[in-house]
Each structure stands twice: as C-alpha cells, then as structure tokens.
Chain A
Amino acid sequence: MRMSGADITIKLLENQGIKVIAGIPGGGNLPLYDALYKSNIKHVLARHEQGAAFIAQGIARTTGKAAVCFATSGPGATNLLTAIADAKLDSVPMVAITGQVPFLLVGTDAFQEVDTYGLTVPITKHNFFVRSIEELFTVIPEAFRYAECGRPGPVVIDIPKNLQSEMYEFEGFPKLEDIDEYVEPVNIHFLKEAAEYINSSKKPVLYIGGGIPIAQGEELIRKLSEKSNIPVATTLMGLGSFPLDNPLYLGMLGMHGARYTNILLEEADLLLAFGVRFDDRATGNVGKFCPRAKIIHIDIDEAEIGKIKKVDLSIQGDINKVLEDLIPLIEENSRKAWVEEIRTKKMELPFVLPDKKDYYHPLNIIKMVSEMSGNAIVTTDVGQHQMWTAQVYPVKEPRTFLTSGGLGTMGFGLPAAIGAAIAMPDRMVICFAGDGSLLMNIQELATLADLGLNVKIIVMNNGHLGLVRQQQQMFYHEHYMACKFQTDPDFAMIAEGFKIKGYTLSRDINPEETLKKILLEKGPALINVPINQFENVFPIVPPGAGNTEMVGGE
C-alpha cells in the first residue's frame, strides 16, 4: 500500500470512528484537508480555532468520546490553546491535530512556526510531535486511547507538513484492538474500613463532582445514597448526576450554593468525596471546609488524593468498580434524625427565589426557559448567568449541562452548543450567554448559520462584565473599573447580520408567550434578554471565607 502521511492520518481517524472534525485549514495543514476531500468525515469550518476546539469539546462533553479539532501551524495552534487548557481542567477527551512547518524548517522561525509541542506541554494530558510517517500508525490510535482512559483529557498531535505530503509504502493498517487495561482490584481492607466509616456515621454527606458523569457512576451513587440515606451535594461539574426530586439531593455546594447546602456540609461528620478535586470554588476556604467531618476520597487520579486536603481514607480507582464492591458492605440505615435535619434546614434556609412577577429577573427567565425546553442540552458561558443557570436550571441527566468549570472560559457557550447540537441533532440546545462572554466567540454565529442547528442563544444582557461588577461592588469599595460596556451592541441585529433570527425581549411585558414561540420554532435563534444591570448572584461566599460565611440570598 502506498499513501501520503495525510491520507494515512485521515484513514486512521476514520478507523477510530470519527465522523466530524471541527477546524480551520491553513498552509501548515493543507495536505490533511486534501485528504479530507476524499473522506466521509464531515468537516465543520469554524471561524476561529478556539471555536473549533470548543465545538470538539461540545461533542466530547455530550458523548464522552474523544472529539477532534484541526488547526494549522503558528496562529492556528496558538488560537487553540485556551480551549485545550479548558479541556484539561475539566477532564474532557479531545484530540487536537495541528499542522507544523516542514521538519527541515523546524527551529528556524519559519513563516507561521510556533513551538506547538512546547506550548501545549502544560495544558495537555499528553502531546506528540510526529517525527516520521511510521509513527502515525501508533501515535494516532494511542492519542485516542490516552485521551479517553482513566481521567480523560486533551491530547495534541503536531504533524510537520512534509510528513503530511510524503508518500509512504506499507503493508496495511494495524487492526484496532480493544485493549483491556489491567485494573487492580480494590483493596478489600480499605473497602471494609470505608464501609465501617459510613455505617457508624451519624451525618454523612456525599460530595460528588465531574468524575461521576465521566464514569457514568450516577446509578451507583443513587443506590449508595438511597440504601444508607446519605444526602448528595454536587459541584458545578457534577450537576445532573443525582435525581433532583429526591429529598436527599442537596444541590450545588460552594461559592454560589444554596444556604442549606453549605450549612448541612458544615454539620457533616463524614464527607464522601467521590470524583472531586476539592476545587476552591466548591470548598471555599479549605481549612474551614467540613470541619467536623472525616473524609473518604475516591478518585481515579491518584494525584488528586491529598493534593488539597488531607483525608482520612482514600481509594484510587474507577468509582463504579469501587461502589460495586462497597455498596454490599453498607448497612441499610434510615438515618431518621439526619434526614429530618435536612428537611428542616431546607425549609429554614431555602434558596430564595425572586417574585414570579419579576419576569425579567434572570432566575425567572432561566426557570421559564427550562419549563419550555424539554430534554434540551444546556451550555453556558462564564459569569453571573452561568451561576444563575447552575443554581436553578433543573439538570436532569449527566452530560446535558456543559459549562467551563475549571478554567472559566468566557466564550465557551456558543461553540460548545454547536458541538452538542452536532452530537445530538434531535435535541434542542440552549446556550445561556452573557453579553460579555458571547462577544468572545461571536464569530461562531457564522458556523451556526452554516449548519442551521437547533441552538437557541439566550443573552442575559446587563451591559456589564456582571461578575466583575458584583465583586467590585462587594469587595472593592464599589470602585467600578472597566466593568461597564460603553456601547450596547444590538445582539438581535448582529444575529440577523449572520442570517440567524434575532429577537430582543421587551422589558415591559411577560415574555412567556414570545419565548415559547421562539423556542418551539426549529433552527438557530438568538434572544437578547435585557436584565437588571445591578442584579447579583446570591448567596456568595467571599474570597478567602469559609462556605458557611455566605453573603446574601436570605
């Protein structure tokens, strides 16, 4: 067989089952695009490489499978960086394939040359610089395996242009083997000890995070919780992993969690930290986090154990494997007193909702949309609207709430929504955006228009970098600096300019009917929702404070 490096690359991607690639062509990856010309893989032309990588993330976050993005050398590669770093912090499997200048020019400061390998070392799970065509046969399947195995993450493959163009003689493609990785059995001694902790605890709480949806561990978490009546608090990344109507559900903990959630965690005598990494947005001042609790930490990534907080017992492993063995050791327990305390605390310290007549309160808008959106997948940008959505949008299933949790990347929402809609064409995708965030990747409206996907963008427009404004108000003596936008772009008109239907809700009427009409019409649309400029996210845990030192939301 005789093929070019580019043809080999694309064939290997086909063999991996890749159906869609998001990217932008350029000088350094043109041979790859020439190979794509002959392939059945669908290419989505983004308008900025960061958009391409977030589209890939949208696919990966909804499906759990590694998705692919392409960029050329130099600026193409540097434009990917933010989205790669984002994937690293939220453990999203992604394979980014970049073109590089021809091998002989590497290191000469050639046109559009940048050290992609060096730049991506700290923000990838691993990265490869391909030095021969032969390596492609191992590197490409290995990149997918590695992006998805254990704790997932992004992998970069940098391929010099000459290797893409050169012809190569070979016997045939290697067969894709399902490698069953050896998994060490969970230490029975630790399991028994963990069970003892749980069985003797009076006030246990499950603190679950992004590891649960990644492992699809929600079913076993529910079993454990119900068998022993253990309440469940989730992080931002864990939303959707526990039934909302279960009385044991405590909602999201941390910086913008409900009062009862943070107070009940303070009461806990045992914290079951499963698939979490003790992020400061979840724990607040970590020294003050769950002061009365013994801690059992289970995570697939050994390095997370003891990284932030010393724990009493830890198990490194796949949460499903651990829970399968652990649950039989757990005694059924009604925990009457604890369950009653939870019920009471929820009533005494509820999450306070605005008056329903305050139609344009962001929380009311989000709730209203959620009642019309059926089984929609939700994405958010980053800021106040993100926290409001996390607080009140009823996320019913894992992998249906896509948000930039770890890196907090403004501009995530729109391209991620495009990716989600590509992966799940039968479902509506709602993107809650802010007027600040949306502008950071607004060019992807063009990509959305190309594809005509059923994505509805709801712009919570307060004319500010809202979370910055809120923090300046609360923690910087109301010194408002660089948080107010001087001009108020007409987002509906901008959408129309991209050939997408654009609407602006008028503040003086109940928006319910209009919203319903827009949401039920198939295809992309942008809805600009003017909200109160000075609305704040409450409760809020001030920086450096413990989670129980919340401000507001009473």
Chain B
Amino acid sequence: MEEYSVIELLVNNHPGVTSHVVGLFSRRAFNLEGVIGTRIGSGATSKIYLLVKNDDRLDQIVKQLKKLYDVIEVAIHSETECTIFNNVKEI
C-alpha cells in the first residue's frame, strides 16, 4: 500500500468551508500533509484535495468528512491515481 492517499472533496463554495474541513483534521488529531482547493464551474462549488497518510484512521477521517454539512462528495484516490500534489511539488 502507498504511504499517502488523496481525498477529493466536492464542497459548497463559501468562506468558512475550508475552516470546517481543515479544523476537523486538527481537532480530531488526524494528519494532514497537503491541501489544494479551488472554486469550480459557476463558483457555487469548490474542489478540495487533501493529502493524508494511509493509516487505520483513514476510514474515520472519511466518515467525519461526510458528516460535514457543506461536503457534497468524498472520494479517495491513491497518490498514483491522483497526481495533483506531485504537480505542486514540481512548481
């Protein structure tokens, strides 16, 4: 298994969504190695990508993310499937 996974979130786009998402990681003592986010389409929604360690807490992280009011969809990818963070490293 790869060391990291990428969580892809579709969220409502308003100021405050990021603090809900990122705050979850600090207050539940989950690890968070990277964050990328941007508005998409008309601007009603955003995409947030989270780089997280692949440990036994991943399942709990995903469940907690699903509970957030503004989170519409949660998907998990391996780092090889979703290379978005690699691109950042190159910049």
* Contact of B63 (CB < 8 Å), options: A117, A122, A146, A302: A302
A118: interface (CB < 8 Å): yes
| Residue count of chain B within 8 Å CB distance of chain A | 12
**Residues of A close to B16: CB separation below 8 A:** 117, 121, 129
How far is it, in angstroms, between the C-alpha of A306 and the C-alpha of B19 when the chains are bound?
Answer: 25
CB pair B20–A303 under 8 Å, yes or no, is: no
Closest to A302 in B: B63
Which residues 38-88 in B have Cβ within 8 Å of A in the complex?
A: 59-60, 63-64, 66-67, 69
A301 at the interface (CB under 8 A from B): yes
Cα of A129 to Cα of B63 in the assembled complex, Å = 25
**B19 cross-chain contacts in A, Cβ below 8 A:** 118, 121
Contact with B along A127-162 (1 / 0, CB 8 A): 001000000000000000010000000000000000
* Cβ contacts under 8 Å, B67 to chain A: 301-303
Closest chain A CB from B76 CB (angstroms)? 15
Closest partner residue, chain B, to A117 (CB atom): B16
Known: A126-B69, A129-B16, A301-B67. A306 touches B60 (CB 8 A): yes
Contacting B at CB under 8 A, from A276-326, are 301-303, 305-307
A334 to chain B, nearest CB (A): 39
Q: Would you call B34 an interface residue if the criterion is a C-beta within 8 Å of the partner chain's C-beta atoms?
A: no
B27 in contact (CB, < 8 A):
yes
Q: Which residues of B contact A126 (CB under 8 A)?
A: 69
> What is the CB-to-nearest-CB distance from B28 to chain A, in angstroms, rounded to a whole number?
9
Q: With A and B bound together, what is the CA distance between A129 and B67 in angstroms?
A: 19
A307 touches B20 (CB 8 A): no
With an 8 A cutoff between CB atoms, is B23 at the interface? Answer: yes
Complex CA distance for A307 and B62, rounded to whole angstroms = 12
Report yes or no: B27 in contact with A303, Cβ–Cβ below 8 A.
no
Type the 1/0 row for B13-33, where 1 means its CB is closer than 8 Å to any CB of A.
Answer: 000100110010001000000
Given A126-B69, A146-B69, answer yes or no on A121-B63 (Cβ-Cβ < 8 Å): no
The residues of B that contact A122 with a CB separation of less than 8 Å are: 23, 27
| Chain B residues positioned under 8 Å from A121 (CB to CB) | 16, 19-20, 23
Whether B64 pairs with A303 at a CB distance below 8 angstroms is yes
Do most interface residues of chain B lie in helix, strand or loop, or is the interface mixed? helix
- Assuming the A-B contacts A126-B69, A129-B16, are A303 and B60 also in contact, with contact meaning beta carbons closer than 8 angstroms in the complex? yes
Residues of A within 8 Å of B63, CB to CB, are 302-303, 305
Q: Tell me if B69 and A302 are in contact (CB < 8 A).
A: no
Residues of A within 8 A of B60 (CB): 303, 306-307
B66 in contact with A302 (CB, 8 Å): yes
Residue of A nearest to B19 (CB): A121
In whole angstroms, how far apart are the Cα atoms of A125 and B24 in the complex? Answer: 12
Shortest Cβ distance from A478 into chain B, in angstroms? Answer: 34
Distance between Cα atoms of A122 and B59 in the complex (Å):
20
Complex CA distance for A129 and B15, rounded to whole angstroms: 9
What are the residues of chain B within 8 A of A125 when measuring CB–CB?
Answer: 69
Cα distance A307–B69 in the bound complex, in angstroms: 20
A370: min CB distance to chain B, Å: 39
Q: Which residue of B lies closest to A118 (CB)?
A: B19
A302 to B64, CA, bound (A): 9
Shortest Cβ distance from residue A115 to the other chain B in the assembled complex, whole angstroms: 10
User: What's the least CB distance linking B32 to chain A, in Å?
Assistant: 15
Q: How far is the CB of B27 from the nearest CB of chain A, in Å? A: 5
In the complex, the chain A residue whose C-beta lies closest to that of B64 is A303
Q: In the complex, A303→B60 CA distance in Å?
A: 6
- The distance in angstroms between the C-alpha atoms of A117 and B60, with both chains bound, is 25
A302 to B20, CA, bound (A): 19
What's the Cα separation between A126 and B71 when bound, in Å? 12
The answer to whether B59 touches A306, judged by C-beta atoms less than 8 angstroms apart, is: yes
Please, which residues of chain A bring their CB within 8 A of the CB of B69?
A: 125-126, 146
Residue of A nearest to B67 (CB): A303
CB of A37 to closest CB in B, whole Å = 32
A139 to chain B, nearest CB (A): 11
Which of A146, A301, A303, A306 neighbours the largest number of chain B CB atoms within 10 Å of its CB? A303
CA distance A303 to B61 in the complex (A): 9
Q: Which residues of A contact B59 (CB under 8 A)?
A: 306
- Which residues of B have CB within 8 Å of A146? 69
A146 to B19, CA, bound (A): 20
Tell me, in angstroms, the Cα distance from A306 to B58 when the chains sit together.
Answer: 12
Q: Which residues of B contact A302 (CB under 8 A)?
A: 63, 66-67
Quote the shortest CB–CB distance from A311 to chain B (angstroms): 13
Using an 8 Å CB-CB cutoff, how does the interface string of A35-52 with B read, 1 for contact, 0 for none? 000000000000000000
Chain A residue nearest to B65 in the complex (CB): A303
Name the B residues within 8 Å of A129 (CB-CB). 16
A-chain residues with CB within 8 Å of residue B27 when the two chains form the complex: 122
Chain B nearest CB from A298 CB (Å) reads 15
B8–chain A nearest beta-carbon distance, Å: 19
A118 to B16 alpha-carbon distance, docked (Å)? 8
B22 nearest in chain A by CB position: A121
Contacts of B66 in A (CB 8 A): 302-303
Q: In the complex, A303 Cα to B68 Cα: how many Å? A: 11
Interface residues of B (CB under 8 A from A): 16, 19-20, 23, 27, 59-60, 63-64, 66-67, 69
Supply 14 further A-B pairs (C-beta < 8 A) apart from A118-B19, A306-B60, A307-B60.
Answer: A117-B16, A121-B16, A121-B19, A121-B20, A121-B23, A122-B27, A125-B69, A129-B16, A301-B67, A302-B63, A302-B66, A303-B66, A303-B67, A306-B59
Which 3 interchain pairs have the tightest Cβ spacing?
A: A303-B63, A126-B69, A122-B27
Binding site for B on A (CB under 8 A): 117-118, 121-122, 125-126, 129, 146, 301-303, 305-307
Q: List 10 A-B contacts (CB under 8 A).
A: A118-B19, A121-B23, A122-B23, A129-B16, A302-B63, A303-B60, A303-B63, A303-B64, A303-B67, A306-B60
